[in-house]
Amino acid sequence: MSIQAGEKMPSGTFGVMTESGPGAMSTDDLFADKKVVIFSVPGAFTPTCSMNHLPGFIDHAEKIIAKGVNTIACMAVNDVFVMDAWGRDRGVGEHVTMLADGNGEYAKALGLDFDASAFGMGTRAQRFALIVDNGIVLHVAVEKAGQFEVSSAESILENL
């Protein structure tokens, strides 16, 4: 079963790129005493993810932050090097924290993983967005297969 509103986010660790190279960020570091919008894409550099999903959060970052959000984070089942390169390619700057869920462990802990082996992509995270306050999920938006509506930055803004 997937994560639901009112539940605590599971514990875990993400890969992040630091000034000195690959590092880690715990869920405690990400969520404790903060309001966070975390969204997930099936894969960095994929069409909808690169052209719509991530850019929407970059474009609307100031509006999202103005609604009391401390952190906007993008998660994908990719390694830290790919997430860093994708973030630089898309110009996320300080607006979006890029989180690598390299083995898909966090997606699985959320109950939001799926098998994309038919596309040569292995296990991936579904396309979703969550609004989290101090580690507690306030809003869950999971896309149906092939859709991009409820997890968009615009939809999340309406739910903040």
**Catalytic residue list:** 49
Task: Tell me the one-letter amino acid at 7.
Answer: E
Give the total residue count for the chain.
160
Distance CA 92, CA 59 (A): 9
Of the candidates 55, 135, 89, the one whose C-alpha atom is nearest the C-alpha of residue 74 is 55
Distance CA 154, CA 160 (A): 10
Beta strands in the chain (DSSP E): 13-18, 21-26, 35-41, 71-76, 97-100, 113-115, 123-125, 128-133, 136-142
Distance CA 50, CA 44 (A): 7
Pairing of strands 35-41, 128-133: antiparallel
